[in-house]
Amino acid sequence: MSGTLCSLRQLSVTYGRGRSSAVALDHIDLDIATGERLAIIGESGSGKSTLARALAALLPDGAKVGGEMLWPALGHPPRPGRDFGFVFQDPGTSLNPVLTIGEQIAEGARRHLGFSWKQAYTRAEELLGRVRMSEPGKAMLAYPHQLSGGQRQRVAMAAAIAAKPALLIADEATSALDVVVQAEIVRLLDGLVREDGMTLLFITHDIALASGFVDRIAVFRDGKLVEAGPVRSVISAPKSGYTAALIASHRDLATPPLIAEVPS
């Protein structure tokens, strides 16, 4: 890792106004290093998905943002689709049902990298191979409804990295999948970011799943950053009772990580 990709300083996000307003993020200070794999951990309502959407400029209209988001490694504000890719929990919300898989992946390379359609389709098929879709050429012609949930998530991952982003954001990208497919998707994410030198922001409620492959963990609760540190330090010696409770609520973290349980 070299340098800081993103630096958050007193980042706050508030929804609504007046008495009905709700603070989703409360003065967050956090650095994300270039090339690191950082997990954002927390229960529903902790602010972790709001953080992801704030980074990706996907907050809903009316959200009030305070503080700063700085991008030292980029040297400019991030460009959606080019500097970061986003993998959502439900690929059904991000994949267009009336376009083929090939068209949807190729569009990112064509728009952001200046590829011709022929070049973009070649890249799309290559990416489907990288995310281990069986028969990539055949998958290029399929529509989202013809694929399983795990296959659609693989397509969403391929589309997210089509323009070679610096940051890949995976927001609960495995929570709707069964345990075996979860492990496969996590292994794919790990391999993709390593091969391409991307930074990964992995957002999940499952601290056990994340601990098997990320470098650092940041724990959120009620919009606040509870603690952050290297995985081994957070798991073996949590500084907060909340983090300790999260660890205790999952399977024994002393056992081999989940991604090691599925054969390659």
pLDDT digits (tens, 9 = 90+) for 104-152: 999 999 999 999 999 999 999 999 999 999 999 999 999 999 999 889 9
Least confident window among 37-51, 89-103, 161-175, 249-263: 249-263
Give the DSSP H or E segment for 106. helix 101-113
**Residue 29 token pair:** 């200070």
**Residue 203 token pair:** 């957002």
pTM over 0.85: yes
| Domains of the chain in sequence order | 36-59+79-260 (3.40.50.300)
Main-chain dihedrals φ then ψ at residue 254, nearest 5 degrees: -80, -15
Q: Which of 109, 112, 110 is nearest to 80 (CA)?
A: 112
pLDDT digits (tens, 9 = 90+) for 40-75: 999 999 999 999 999 998 899 889 999 999 999 998
Give the Cα separation of 114 and 127 in Å (integer).
17
Tokens 């030198």 sit at which residue? 197
For 24, the 3-state DSSP assignment is: strand
Q: Are 43 and 242 in contact (CB under 8 A)?
A: no
Beta strands in the chain (DSSP E): 4-15, 22-33, 37-41, 64-70, 84-87, 167-171, 199-204, 216-221, 224-230
**Residue 85 token pair:** 């890719």
pLDDT digits (tens, 9 = 90+) for 157-187: 999 999 999 999 999 988 877 888 888 889 9
